[in-house]
Amino acid sequence: MFSVGQELAAGPRSGGFPEWNRFAAVNDEFVPLHMDDDVGRAAGYPGAIVMGRLQWSYVHRLLREWLPPEGRIETVALRFRAPTPRGARFDVRARVLAVRSGPERVSADLEVWVEDGAGVVSAPGTATVSVPVQR
């Protein structure tokens, strides 16, 4: 299931008001910085910026779609280094760094990140996932 060096990619995503409105409605996160270009500009950005939690959810989605149903996402950590402006295309990616076998589960430590269309990483992080030992 896991092999060191294995890479994952969600495929290009776009951050715009349709995606933001759906996410904000589910999470009650109608924050002006993410909805209003004038507020974004007043904060020093070119306009409204993508919600960090939305990018976080895309990392979880990448891992969940990769894992089998009995797999677990044990931990995820991201550090947001730069904002992602409205309309920007970005990708969510991961790479297996280490695999550990225990008596009940096999775990994998991953490097995870969000990168823009030019490959610049705006949110680096880590994750640990696991699956039951195959008997």
The range of the structural domain enclosing residue 14 comes to 7-132
- Render pLDDT for 13-39 as a digit per residue (tens, 0 to 9): 876 777 777 877 787 778 888 889 999
CATH of the domain at 56: 3.10.129.10
Predicted confidence (pLDDT) at residue 135 exceeds the cutoff of 80: no
The count of structural domains within the chain is 1
Tokens representing 46 are 């070119």
Q: State the residue for tokens 């995503």.
A: 13
In a domain, residue 49? The reply is yes
Q: Which residue has the tokens 């044990």?
A: 74
C-alpha 39 chain-centroid distance: 25
Higher pLDDT, 102 or 19: 102
